[in-house]
């Protein structure tokens, strides 16, 4: 499996960033044409779309709240911990991709300081699921970035060879990503453009992470069994944090994530002990 991932990642180049760059420029041009480059206008032009999507998506509050947790790196990455053993190249890409996404996310939030919906609109006029977020850090959606970082890394890791399968695979990943990302509108935490821009930035960070992992051998130590103890300790910490989350919020997704972590911990520990 790891060889397949390596071969697929070798085909990844920075030319894959042309399309997302074009999409970002298109959004800027759209905002310019709508005279919506100011904070007030940015919020105003999305008001009706936000209320419409929020009202429709929030009809399934439990589903929305569980799915939106995939934007939490701890939750989403817990399902990938098994790849530490079977496809460590994925994790060699995840590390730089995560660092890149953190830099992009913090920079954009600090630059634009867009107030979240709960800080602008009457909270009684739309649905808020979970914690009410009212800071000036709406753009971009950090959850959307995380979702598309992970999905982009998986997208290229298991890219099929046949064109037909490639189209199906890419379409499925994009659809799943958008469904997960738009839960941020469903729970009342972000505007639609926050989610779209966050998704694009997540893709960019994912491609950059893959490229860095191919260009520089900074995280190849991940595949060596001698360093499995580090993974074991990190997994134990993550399990403790997740148990605390379960005690505070009894969500199905947390139990699934916990099962994944425990399974990976067992497999990695067994291999480490036998080495």
User: What is the pLDDT, as a whole number, of residue 275?
Assistant: 64
If you count them, how many residues does the chain have? 275
Rounded CA separation 32/50 (Å): 20
The whole-chain average pLDDT of the chain stands at 95
pTM: 0.95
User: What is the pLDDT, as a whole number, of residue 235?
Assistant: 96
Rounded CA separation 34/215 (Å): 41
User: What is the pLDDT, as a whole number, of residue 71?
Assistant: 96
- Residue whose token pair is 């074009």: 22
More confident residue, 95 or 217: 95
Scanning 113-162, the segments in alpha helix (DSSP H) are 117-120, 142-157
- Residue 221: pLDDT band with limits 50, 70, 90: confident
User: What is the pLDDT, as a whole number, of residue 223?
Assistant: 87
Question: What topology is assigned to 1-220 in CATH?
Answer: Vanadium-containing Chloroperoxidase; domain 1 (1.20.144)
Domain chopping of the chain, boundaries: 1-220, 224-274
Residues above pLDDT 70, as percent of the chain: 100
Residue 176, pLDDT above cutoff 70 = yes
Rounded CA separation 131/175 (Å): 26
Q: Which of 100, 196, 93, 92 is nearest to 143 (CA)?
A: 196
Convert the pLDDT of each residue in 8-31 to its tens digit.
899 999 999 999 999 999 999 999
Residue 25 has which token pair? 């420029």
- Residue 238: pLDDT band with limits 50, 70, 90: very high
- Residue 219: pLDDT band with limits 50, 70, 90: confident
Residue 226, pLDDT above cutoff 90 = no
User: What is the pLDDT, as a whole number, of residue 217?
Assistant: 84
Rounded CA separation 208/218 (Å): 14
Rounded CA separation 96/27 (Å): 26
Rounded CA separation 34/150 (Å): 33
User: What is the pLDDT, as a whole number, of residue 65?
Assistant: 97
DSSP 219-253: SGGGG-GGGHHHHHHHHHHHHHHHHHHHHH---HH
Question: Helices 192-215 and 18-33 meet at what angle, rounded to 10?
Answer: 160
């Amino acid at each position: 499996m790891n060889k397949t991932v390596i071969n697929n990642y070798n085909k990844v180049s920075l030319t894959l960033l042309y399309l997302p760059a074009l999409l970002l420029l298109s959004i800027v041009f759209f905002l310019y044409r709508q005279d919506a480059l100011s904070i007030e206008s940015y919020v105003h032009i999305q008001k009706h779309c936000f209320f419409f999507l929020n009202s429709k998506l929030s009809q399934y509050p439990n589903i929305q709240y569980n799915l939106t947790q995939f934007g939490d790196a701890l939750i989403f990455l817990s399902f990938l911990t098994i790849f530490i053993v079977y496809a460590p190249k994925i994790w060699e890409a995840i590390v730089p991709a995560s660092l890149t996404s953190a830099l992009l996310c913090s920079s954009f939030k600090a630059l634009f300081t867009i107030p979240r919906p709960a800080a602008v609109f009457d909270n009684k006029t739309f649905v808020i699921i979970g914690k009410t977020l009212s800071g000036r850090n709406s753009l971009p959606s950090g959850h959307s970035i995380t979702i598309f970082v992970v999905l982009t890394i998986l997208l290229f890791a298991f890219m099929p060879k046949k064109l037909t399968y490639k189209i199906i695979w890419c379409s499925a990943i994009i659809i799943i990503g958008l469904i997960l990302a738009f839960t941020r509108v469903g729970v009342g935490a972000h505007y639609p453009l926050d989610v779209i821009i966050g998704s694009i930035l997540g893709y960019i960070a994912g491609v950059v992470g893959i490229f860095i992992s191919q260009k520089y051998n900074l995280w190849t130590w991940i595949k060596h069994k001698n360093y499995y103890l580090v993974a074991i300790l990190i997994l134990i910490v993550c399990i403790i944090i997740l148990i605390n989350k379960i005690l505070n919020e009894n969500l199905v997704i947390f139990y699934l994530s916990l099962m994944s972590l425990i399974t990976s911990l067992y497999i990695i520990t067994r291999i480490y002990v036998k080495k």
